[in-house]
């Protein structure tokens, strides 16, 4: 059929059309229905399918992660027990509030026992508070010979409680050495002090949000 034949077709007499134009019109109608369905109905279903597939991948990753954790659960428990044991051992090296005075005496005696002279031994007037411990800096200045100062540093490191020497400055005056340093000792906080620290931290976060 030619283009003129299609032009002469009467849409009111579709039943009398030849087979070829009927097939062509039917195919156009089908294509229109498919396109309309894809736009008005299938598009939302396709988007939903894409979202579901993405969620499926996310859930699979979560499952793999949880499965790996479940497989290694006993190992995690063992590691946690080891960490708690190590932490407990470190906490035992921190004196409580009542033991601080004795520790300060031990530091002083460590110097005197080596024949050193304390020109300065001044604990800070206020501790520096952290989450579960407090830090007490002590400004010290000692004079003596090289070996005695070295032995003093070794004795301090060997104390059963944690004491560190910081900001060390050594001077030499005609063969006599002087050492300025900040000795820091630490103590663990009791339950009441820990509660106050947590309350203060929460208050600071609340103020920051405002």
Cα separations in angstroms, 92 against 89, 148, 152, 162, 185: 5, 29, 23, 10, 13
3 state SS for 191-202: HHHHHHHHHHHH
**Looking at the structure, do residues 109 and 167 belong to the same domain, yes or no?**
yes
| Contact assessment for residue 24 and residue 1, using Cβ atoms and an 8 Å cutoff | no
- Tokens describing residue 203: 């208050």
Which tops the pLDDT comparison, 5 or 20?
A: 20
101 and 186, same structural domain? Answer: yes
Number of domains in the chain: 2
The fraction of the chain above a pLDDT of 70, given in percent, is: 73
User: What pLDDT is recorded for position 27?
Assistant: 80
* Angular region, 115: left φ>0, alpha ψ -120 to 50, beta rest: left
**Contact present, 120 and 182 (Cβ < 8 Å):** no
Q: Is the pLDDT of residue 33 over 90?
A: no
Residues 67 and 111 in one domain: no
Given pLDDT bands bounded at 50, 70 and 90, which one contains residue 181? very high
β-strands 133-144, 117-123 pairing = antiparallel
Categorize the per-residue pLDDT at 139 as very low, low, confident or very high, splitting at 50, 70 and 90. very high
* Residue whose tokens read 């304390």: 118
% helix, strand, coil for the chain, step of 5: 60, 20, 15
DSSP track, 14-52 = GGGS-HHHHHHHHHHHHHHHHHHHIIIIIHHHHHHHHHH
User: 163 by DSSP, 3-state: which?
Assistant: strand
pTM of the model: 0.50
pLDDT at position 141 is 95
Top mean pLDDT of 2-16, 52-66, 90-104, 190-204 is at: 52-66
Same domain, 38 and 114: no
Identity of the highest mean pLDDT range in 63-67, 131-135, 162-166, 200-204:
162-166
Domain that holds residue 160: 97-194
Q: What pLDDT score does 17 carry?
A: 64
The answer to whether 197 and 189 are in contact (CB under 8 A) is: yes
The answer to whether residues 179 and 109 belong to one domain is yes
pLDDT of 99-109, one tens digit each?
778 888 999 99
Q: What is the pLDDT of residue 52?
A: 84
84 found inside a domain: no
Q: Does residue 27 or residue 12 have the better pLDDT?
A: 27
Q: Comparing 146 with 43, which gets the higher pLDDT? A: 146
What mean pLDDT do residues 168-176 have?
86
Would you say residue 1 has pLDDT above 60?
no
Last residue of a domain, one of 71, 89, 115: 71
Which of 28-42, 61-75, 182-196 has the weakest average pLDDT? 28-42
Q: How does pLDDT run across 159-171, given as a tens digit for each residue?
A: 888 888 999 999 9
């Amino acid at each position: 059929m030619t283009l003129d034949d299609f032009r002469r077709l009467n849409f009111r007499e579709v039943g009398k059309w030849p087979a070829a134009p009927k097939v062509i019109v039917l195919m156009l109608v089908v294509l229109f229905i498919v396109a309309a369905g894809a736009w008005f109905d299938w598009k939302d279903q396709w988007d939903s399918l894409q979202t579901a597939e993405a969620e499926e991948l996310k859930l699979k990753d979560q499952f793999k992660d949880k499965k790996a954790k479940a497989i290694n659960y006993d190992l995690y428990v063992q590691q946690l027990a080891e960490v708690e044991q190590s932490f407990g051992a470190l906490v035992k090296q921190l004196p409580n509030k009542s033991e601080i005075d004795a520790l300060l005496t031990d530091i002083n005696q460590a110097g005197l026992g080596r024949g050193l002279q304390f020109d300065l031994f001044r604990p800070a007037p206020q501790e520096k508070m952290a989450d579960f411990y407090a830090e007490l800096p002590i400004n010290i200045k000692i004079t003596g010979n090289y070996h005695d100062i070295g032995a003093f540093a070794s004795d301090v490191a060997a104390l059963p409680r944690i004491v560190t020497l910081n900001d060390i400055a050594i001077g030499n005056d005609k063969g006599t050495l002087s050492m300025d340093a900040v000795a820091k000792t630490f103590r663990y906080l009791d339950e009441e002090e820990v509660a106050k620290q947590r309350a203060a931290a929460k208050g600071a976060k609340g103020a920051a949000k405002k």
